[in-house]
């Protein structure tokens, strides 16, 4: 009886007068009852006190995506799929296997791996008994995967979203895809590194975004130069983070930050500046090998020897003409241990090597579009016995590349097809819906990509206009005469040429014309 007490007297009056049980009411019956909204909510077992969304509330509600995220429309998605396809083909061409990892990890898995960038990790509220964070990149989860599964050799690729608790500017996001390729295992020096750079070269060349340059350095060389110039060991990482800003701010600002915030003497900073502003081809490595100070540092000389070997491999792979050795490249992440690299786009005509510090206008203002390096110690951080699995890899900056590809598509003024439909099944007369459905079923069963308008009796002109708008190349037209003769009229949308095709030959003809 508790449920009966919830009805008002006026409600019961209506129900009794019309001989309606509370269990068989319809809300429309209560329209004339005072306070009917409240009564209706009660009958529907809704919260009577819950506020309803008023018109004013809807007007004040800002409909938008969260900052640092964006929707992808069909045209953008078409471009995105093409770019992903080029990247994926290159990864698979080099023998990579695909894996996937969770979008969130235990917080302790990610902690202490990214240096100052750790502040950009998204922490999740503890609702399941574990402290979790959204993955910052795909490299640390990959290292965790290797250690957890005791894997010592693998070529892997992964294309997944990552998250940064950033304050994003133009062209940067807090949620974005990374396309990663990595080689894990003990191999002869620099062969995996050279293959990673070859893949980067292949992808950027195939994407046809314009001139690009691959900047290469070695963390051991950078640390050796820091030691040579008198930078204390405990400041190597923090100073490297400042050096990593050199592609974004001028040397004068970098110099000032090192002196005022990192407490380095002007003499040390100026000596350091002579080295980290060097960039160029093999001659730069030779110059450093002959430098009286650098030649005394064992770590730096080991790195220079490896970079020379890498250069010889890159020449064989046909990549060396796009590579510049840049001593100002630092890559701020803590886990890099050896060769590091990143690719940038050039504004004007392609330059084979040198981009001087005073001529940074040649580098497009998009930041790096691909990057990576060697990280030999990361897997060991997760292994209970500290067993190391040397790794090297690349990550393609897909969002920046997509932005470039979309702009290029707009400038070409070409219509972008957002579907792959090969043929539209149409009729020139009314009352042929069932025949259209039978024909399209046969096409689908044979693997033909086909559409039909979802109307019983569409006008032929509307069907043809739909093809022109969406870029569908062919129309398969059926009607009374075609059914009688056992043929289908196949129309080329561009040339408007029409030809009768025997029904049994239609699939082969469509495949021949659209392959």
Residue ranges of the annotated binding site for L-histidine are 137-139, 164, 178, 182, 331, 335-336
Cβ(372)–Cβ(192) below 8 Å: no
Question: Cα separation of 365 and 258, whole Å?
Answer: 24
Nearest to 208 by CA among 18, 79, 338: 79
Q: Are strands 423-427 and 474-478 parallel, antiparallel or unpaired?
A: parallel
Nearest to 156 by CA among 217, 216, 94, 205: 94
**Sign of the CA dihedral running 139, 141, 146, 147:** positive
Quote the Cα angle for 36-39-40, to 5°. Answer: 85
DSSP 374-394: E-SSHHHHHSTT-----EEEE
Q: What are all long-range contacts of 37-46, with beta carbons under 8 Å and residues at least 24 apart?
A: 39/7, 39/8, 39/10, 39/11, 42/6, 42/7
Q: Is 202 helix (H, G, I), strand (E, B) or coil?
A: helix
C-alpha to C-alpha distances, 118 to 67, 165, 239, nearest whole angstrom:
20, 10, 16
Strands, DSSP E only, in 314-390? 323-326, 339-345, 370-374
Write down how long the chain is.
515
Question: Cα separation of 70 and 88, whole Å?
Answer: 23
Nearest to 322 by CA among 408, 246, 216: 216
Residues making up the binding site: 137-139, 164, 178, 182, 331, 335-336
Based on its alpha-carbon atoms, the radius of gyration of the chain, rounded to whole angstroms, reads 32
Cβ(203)–Cβ(370) below 8 Å: yes
Cβ(491)–Cβ(473) below 8 Å: no
Torsion, CA 361, CA 364, CA 367, CA 370, rounded to 10: -130
Cβ(309)–Cβ(189) below 8 Å: yes
The phi-psi region of residue 432 (left if phi > 0; otherwise alpha if psi is between -120 and 50; otherwise beta) is alpha
Q: Is 190 helix (H, G, I), strand (E, B) or coil?
A: coil
43 DSSP assignment = H
Question: Cα separation of 507 and 487, whole Å?
Answer: 12
Paired strand residues for 376: none
Cβ(39)–Cβ(8) below 8 Å: yes
First to last CA, the chain: 72
């Amino acid at each position: 009886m508790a449920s009966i007490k919830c009805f008002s007297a006026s409600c019961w009056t209506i129900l009794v007068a019309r001989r309606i049980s509370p269990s068989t009411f319809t809300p429309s019956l209560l329209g004339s009852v005072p306070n009917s909204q409240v009564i209706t909510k009660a009958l529907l077992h809704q919260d009577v006190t819950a506020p309803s969304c008023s018109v004013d509330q809807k007007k004040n509600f800002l409909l938008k995506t969260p900052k640092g995220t964006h929707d992808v429309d069909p045209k953008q998605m078409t471009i995105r799929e093409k770019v992903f396809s080029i990247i994926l083909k290159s990864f698979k061409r080099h023998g990579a296997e695909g894996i996937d990892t969770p979008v969130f990890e235990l917080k302790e898995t990610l902690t202490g791996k990214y240096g100052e960038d750790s502040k950009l990790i998204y922490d999740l509220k503890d609702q399941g008994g574990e402290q979790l964070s959204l993955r910052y990149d795909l490299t640390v989860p990959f290292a965790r995967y290797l250690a957890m599964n005791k894997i010592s050799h693998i070529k892997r690729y992964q294309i997944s979203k990552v998250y940064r608790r950033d304050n994003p500017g133009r062209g940067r996001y807090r949620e974005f895809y990374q396309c990663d390729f990595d080689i894990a295992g003990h191999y002869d020096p620099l062969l995996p590194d050279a293959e990673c750079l070859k893949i980067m070269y292949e992808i950027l060349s195939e994407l046809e975004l314009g001139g690009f340059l691959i900047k290469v350095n070695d963390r051991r060389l950078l640390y050796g130069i820091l030691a040579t110039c008198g930078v204390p060991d405990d400041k190597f990482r923090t100073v490297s983070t400042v050096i990593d800003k050199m592609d974004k701010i001028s040397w004068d600002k970098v110099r000032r930050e090192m002196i005022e915030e990192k407490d380095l003497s002007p003499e040390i900073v100026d000596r350091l500046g002579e080295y980290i502003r060097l960039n160029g081809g093999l001659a730069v490595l030779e110059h450093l090998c002959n430098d009286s100070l650098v030649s005394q540092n064992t770590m730096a000389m080991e790195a220079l020897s490896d970079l020379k070997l890498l250069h010889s491999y890159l020449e064989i792979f046909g990549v060396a003409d796009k590579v510049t050795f840049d001593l100002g490249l630092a890559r701020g992440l803590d886990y890099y241990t050896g060769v590091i690299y990143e690719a940038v786009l050039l504004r004007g005509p392609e330059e084979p090597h040198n981009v001087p510090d005073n001529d940074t206008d040649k580098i497009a203002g998009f930041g790096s579009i691909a990057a990576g390096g060697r990280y030999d110690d990361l897997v060991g951080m997760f292994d209970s016995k500290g067993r190391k699995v040397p790794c090297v890899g690349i990550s393609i900056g897909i969002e920046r590349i997509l932005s470039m590809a979309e702009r290029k598509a707009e400038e070409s003024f070409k219509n972008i097809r957002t579907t792959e439909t090969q043929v539209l099944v149409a009729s020139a007369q009314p009352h042929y819906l069932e025949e259209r459905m039978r024909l399209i079923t046969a096409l689908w069963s044979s693997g033909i990509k086909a559409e039909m308008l979802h109307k019983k009796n569409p006008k032929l002109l509307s069907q043809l206009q739909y093809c022109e708008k969406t870029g569908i190349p062919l129309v398969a037209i059926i009607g009374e005469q075609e059914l009688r003769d056992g043929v289908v009229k196949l129309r080329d949308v561009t040339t408007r040429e029409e030809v009768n095709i025997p029904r049994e030959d239609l699939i082969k003809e469509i495949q021949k014309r659209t392959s």
